[in-house]
Structure 1
């Protein structure tokens, strides 16, 4: 296949036939490129094989010679006080870089990674080091190639151009293709430092190799630039950048899997459908096509779609016809998927097929297409060989778990911990720190934040998980010991949070339960500052409720921590005291309810706090008296007074009449019930007053008030709502038995309240029209 679009004059700087540097530009994770690399190394038998990969991993290349189960990746990290970054360099059986390593060892060459460390700033924030640039010019060039070949999408172009190419044409095609994406002499300032570094390695290797050849394998985007820059290099071996000062960096092997390797899950480089291309590499395109048909049919049947023998015949025939029409020498991946779409999917699509465009599968993609792509992704997972070098964090965690009697096993077990017991507290510190690192197989079943003053209890589920080792290796970016790693992760999370009180509050709770005392002062100071500057009463309330819950646990976190929590509670109390009277917006009033609840708990349960009780109670009284106060704030103020034993001077039912409008009552009751639910539930006069108000409304008024009323009564637990329902039914003349049966039915209604309101509104419209027509 010789196409005009690939015709161009020969390079002015074309390498001489005997030139010793052989640069092979590849597409990462391409079976065709993997075969090309192995054949070139076997033919040239070079002294060195240089591979685009993190040069700081070269001292540990022996790790890659162990008997691993692919796929795997080199995980590289870099951490400082202001930045924590991680990157991956994945390998599978058909990665050109992996084949370069194996072929180098087979011919006795010295393999070396020749690129900058993956954490180097010149990579930017690139989480995958093989994600080569792909700017506008490359996209235009690819579109032109697609038009010339009659293909739809970048991957279809690649299969037609490279994967089905005859072996003697592949290298020429790749040179022309990559030259179209980045013409000779096309500079890429963002990549220049990497290319100079790789070229310097090439020049050094040529000098060391004397008369022998050097093969360099890199992404095709870089190939021509490296050839040119290698001629300009001085032949000195470039120094590998290393961390300085308090910076930490490292590289370790981690297990990988095909889902993470697949472009359709968001992987920024390489090929899609890893399981399919594994078959292409191992057995060829024809066998891979047969395998893909079986895999897709099984996946679609498992998803509940019937794929009959007739469907399979039609699909196979359609794929062959597409391949012939497109000039393919056999059924390629795009032929198989397009034919499956035409013969097996009966519904219309809301968007183009995922394989015809770049990027991950988008939300709303047809389930059948998702099933097809998932079948071609496969479920292969990597496993590291015994003896693989591991970071210190793994050893530290294993020792801590063994000493605490918490070493995971294949059989899950439940661990119940009582913070009153010192030994249990130490075990809880360990498990909570591991939970922060996201260790698979560890789950907290019962949290510690129940609204009580007694020391908390925690329940964990622990089981040995196959992904635990890889996850903890990746967590080593945060530190070499469990406390260090958990503390660094939380510090980073808090720094990223800025003034977000919710995140900062959760960070503080996590630090306390993980025993990370070093973070408490920093986090409480950051929270206190955020509370002072915030105008979001909802966020202030959430932070306050969490702080008072933690403070009520006493000194289980230590005396210093309890004092810091107390100061945080006082900051919340002062903020609410300052702003309570200025809340006049209804929505903001509803959001402020948790802030009043936090202050109520401080008044009732925290006598050691330095708070202005009398001033706060006086403020609540003024909120009640002010006609401009938001209904929810007025209800919360009254509820706080009642809950704190100060409600005797207030007529609760009488106050309610000030907020008796349908658009106000629900919000007022939300504040009241949220702050004094238990006291109000025992006061039938209040419920009778609510019932009397509602009985006086017409249907439209009731429908207006219904959602807010439902929200207000949601503060009562189901058992109390059922009891209140019986009270209301009996007041309407139902017998005890009838009230009990009807109350149970009300509590079990399957329809949502908004649907019920809409149904009632529709019934009202129908009734009016019938009345207007004289039919009722």
Structure 2
């Protein structure tokens, strides 16, 4: 199909990912034997195309094009082995033919929004530069599918193109269909018009360069615009005066599950693993696919016999015949596998979808690929630490007493500081192993390549970049909590240069801060930093000195910070007290613990303090072993006396009982006071404050709540009123019968059958 007189131009309109399209392109190129191949893609990457033939290049891979001054402005062009553009590139480079990308350069498309449009035109949306589909039009495949009687455009294209063995007439039919669709679409957006103008200009340039047989591989939607050439002056007018940004390009590994991205050549492929199977196994794809499913199920310990495989194939073929198809597709194989190999259980089928239909694995690119120094340093460290990146989610357990694991931990923590979330720490279920063990979940996502480029602005190695990033964030921090969190992270990452800088900022800001709640938020991070510093053999003397200074200021200002609080602020302060309490215990200082217990005691006896905070402070003193039964009973009866408003009493109770049930279970005076308080509430007060009381017990397990209820059940009314230390051996059955329903409602357990 010639675009105009002169050198013949053959336009091959394709869907960006699909084995049928790829096979048709390869066959068409073999038949046409062009002397140049032009492909819809970023011209900035032309110099990278020869690397596509490198022995170490293993799809899926992607071209990454990014703005040098702002790497976050980036676009991906993914390629699978079954992508028609990839096959066109392979055809050209294997024969040393010229091959060029002809789309509108990303240097024009990655310009910041305010500079993007020429004078007199509205700026395009920033995301448009990353979209292959024009934002104003609908789904062309869906329109054609509906015209052919299909509800699903993907299914229609799969039946018509991707399973096709012969390329004869395919591109002519696609061109005719797209031409008809475009006739009713009206004018293109300025962005799409410029893209097609540049592609036409590139075709003209190829003719001027003397090429006689020109093959163009582009998205099917653009094919009509490239066949019917417009005057060059019109295209030049569209492209004149476009702003430019400095961009760079490289190859990066990609994954099949990312081929659905609508970025660059993303085409919404739902089952790339199936498409790869069709490309690599063109003969007998149905039986080989069923065999792969059986192997997968066996690897997971599930039964899958050879007879099951045969029956699955037969059922798939029968379903295809019933549906009027020439051969089974993925839908038929999925239904047959569910019925036979999975025994009707959808759970194994979900595994088949993840592992086979979508597919796992990370592509590979050769070491010769240009990259920023930080990326090269990261790759070297991954190799030396035997931590290869993988697209599968894997757990990695580290023992910090081993040099290799400690180096791995250091790398992962440094990457987290750079927002390169390759690893995410998890709580180690084996709590007895202490702080010498870490558990990470590792998964490499292709878009992390952009994060690496962004992080390279701070340094050329992982260590220098992480240090630079911490120093930059510390200089910008206005909150003490932000700085202490940075200090904690820097200790975990073992960045001595960053630690010194952050400590100076913490010291300076802490001496100026008079906000006690902010100091309370910062202190636990310092305690954690001291603990991890000791584990990692980092000097912690300066940190302890700062922590002690903060601690003294917190003790002085704590009473004033706990008065005149509303309910929301009281809950916040309760959480801060708990965190402080844990931090004090973490630092393991007897004198510091005594001072903290004394400060909590001031809150317990101060009526101006919110009930929730007073109850929480008392609870923490109980945990310290500073409260005897008699004192607990006295304080409980006072806090739960009839003179105290029920809402305040309920808040105090919530602050006291929240936590471990065992600590308070045998505190007889507490339960006696609670029994007396509940018994003395009016019906209206009880109904009004029941939600508050239930909230106090909500976090306890069923067994803990039952044990509490049994304890209260043994109390006599005399114990509730007078606080006697000894229980009466016999209870009034009538009074017990009236109390049990109330306790059942509060605690959420049945007590009616108790003896």
After superposing the two structures, state which structure 1 stretch, 679-688 or 629-638, moved more.
Answer: 679-688
1:36 — aligned with what? 24
Cα pair distance change 1:424/1:70, threshold 3 Å = closer
Deviation at 1:179, TM superposition (A): 3.3
Deviation at 1:169, TM superposition (A): 1.9
Counterparts of 1:107 and 1:727, CA distance in 2: 87
Counterparts of 1:164 and 1:446, CA distance in 2: 48
Counterparts of 1:484 and 1:239, CA distance in 2: 40
Counterparts of 2:745 and 2:39, CA distance in 1: 63
Deviation at 1:631, TM superposition (A): 3.2
Deviation at 1:482, TM superposition (A): 0.5
Deviation at 1:549, TM superposition (A): 4.1
Counterparts of 2:600 and 2:666, CA distance in 1: 23
How high is the TM-score relative to the length of structure 1?
Answer: 0.65
Paired residues of 2:378 and 2:461 also in contact (CA < 8 A): yes
Paired residues of 1:545 and 1:598 also in contact (CA < 8 A): yes
1:71 — aligned with what? 59
**Given the alignment, which residue of 607, 615, 632 partners 1:635?**
615
2:730 — aligned with what? none
Deviation at 1:175, TM superposition (A): 1.2
Paired residues of 2:16 and 2:219 also in contact (CA < 8 A): yes
Cα pair distance change 1:597/1:703, threshold 3 Å = closer
- Cα deviations by residue, 1:85-129 (Å, 9 ceiling, x for unpaired): 454322222111111111112443212333434982579666995
After superposing the two structures, state which structure 1 stretch, 474-483 or 76-85, moved more.
Answer: 76-85
Cα pair distance change 1:275/1:468, threshold 3 Å = closer
Correspondence 1:433 to 2:421: no
Counterparts of 1:194 and 1:57, CA distance in 2: 16
1:459 — aligned with what? 437
Counterparts of 2:710 and 2:171, CA distance in 1: 83
Correspondence 1:509 to 2:492: no
Counterparts of 2:744 and 2:74, CA distance in 1: 47
Secondary structure of the structure 2 residue equivalent to 1:24 = strand
Paired residues of 1:200 and 1:230 also in contact (CA < 8 A): no
Counterparts of 1:687 and 1:293, CA distance in 2: 65
1:176 — aligned with what? 176
Counterparts of 2:197 and 2:508, CA distance in 1: 44
Cα pair distance change 1:260/1:681, threshold 3 Å = same
- Over aligned residue pairs, what C-alpha RMSD do you find? 6.4
2:574 — aligned with what? 593
Deviation at 1:317, TM superposition (A): 4.8
Counterparts of 1:571 and 1:424, CA distance in 2: 39
Secondary structure of the structure 2 residue equivalent to 1:205 = helix
Correspondence 1:202 to 2:203: yes
Secondary structure of the structure 2 residue equivalent to 1:53 = coil
Deviation at 1:323, TM superposition (A): 4.2
Paired residues of 1:542 and 1:595 also in contact (CA < 8 A): yes
Counterparts of 1:80 and 1:557, CA distance in 2: 39
Pairing of 1:338-357 with structure 2 (within 5 A)? none
Counterparts of 1:256 and 1:754, CA distance in 2: 58
* Runs of 5+ consecutive residues of structure 1 not aligned to the other structure: 1-10, 348-364, 451-455, 734-752, 768-775
Counterparts of 1:253 and 1:526, CA distance in 2: 45
Deviation at 1:61, TM superposition (A): 2.8
Secondary structure of the structure 2 residue equivalent to 1:49 = strand
Correspondence 1:671 to 2:663: no
Counterparts of 2:505 and 2:13, CA distance in 1: 50
Counterparts of 2:556 and 2:230, CA distance in 1: 65
Deviation at 1:207, TM superposition (A): 2.0
Paired residues of 1:323 and 1:331 also in contact (CA < 8 A): no
Deviation at 1:561, TM superposition (A): 7.3
Counterparts of 1:533 and 1:114, CA distance in 2: 60
- Cα deviations by residue, 1:723-765 (Å, 9 ceiling, x for unpaired): 99999899899xxxxxxxxxxxxxxxxxxx99995552xx76x
Counterparts of 1:68 and 1:617, CA distance in 2: 65
2:636 — aligned with what? 653
Secondary structure of the structure 1 residue equivalent to 2:284 = helix
Cα pair distance change 1:459/1:53, threshold 3 Å = farther
- Cα deviations by residue, 1:157-193 (Å, 9 ceiling, x for unpaired): 2123323555222012211333355447641334344
Deviation at 1:156, TM superposition (A): 1.0
Deviation at 1:722, TM superposition (A): 13
**Given the alignment, which residue of 682, 688, 710 partners 2:697?**
710
Secondary structure of the structure 1 residue equivalent to 2:320 = helix
Counterparts of 1:565 and 1:128, CA distance in 2: 50
1:97 — aligned with what? 85
Correspondence 1:483 to 2:463: yes
Secondary structure of the structure 2 residue equivalent to 1:60 = helix
After superposing the two structures, state which structure 1 stretch, 542-551 or 58-67, moved more.
Answer: 542-551
Cα pair distance change 1:315/1:551, threshold 3 Å = same
Cα pair distance change 1:680/1:294, threshold 3 Å = closer
Cα pair distance change 1:32/1:467, threshold 3 Å = same
Pairing of 1:249-264 with structure 2 (within 5 A)? 250-261=248-259
Pairing of 1:249-288 with structure 2 (within 5 A)? 250-261=248-259, 268-284=266-282, 287-288=284-285
After superposing the two structures, state which structure 1 stretch, 369-378 or 704-713, moved more.
Answer: 704-713
Paired residues of 1:524 and 1:565 also in contact (CA < 8 A): no
1:393 — aligned with what? 374
Correspondence 1:46 to 2:34: yes
Paired residues of 2:88 and 2:217 also in contact (CA < 8 A): yes
Deviation at 1:433, TM superposition (A): 0.7
1:163 — aligned with what? 162
Paired residues of 2:80 and 2:86 also in contact (CA < 8 A): yes
Secondary structure of the structure 2 residue equivalent to 1:254 = strand
Correspondence 1:370 to 2:360: no
Deviation at 1:680, TM superposition (A): 7.8
Deviation at 1:435, TM superposition (A): 5.1
Secondary structure of the structure 2 residue equivalent to 1:269 = coil
Pairing of 1:237-256 with structure 2 (within 5 A)? 250-256=248-254
Counterparts of 1:154 and 1:91, CA distance in 2: 22
Q: How many residues align?
A: 677
Paired residues of 2:70 and 2:454 also in contact (CA < 8 A): no
- Cα deviations by residue, 1:301-337 (Å, 9 ceiling, x for unpaired): 869699958963772354232342xxx4433444545
Paired residues of 2:320 and 2:326 also in contact (CA < 8 A): no
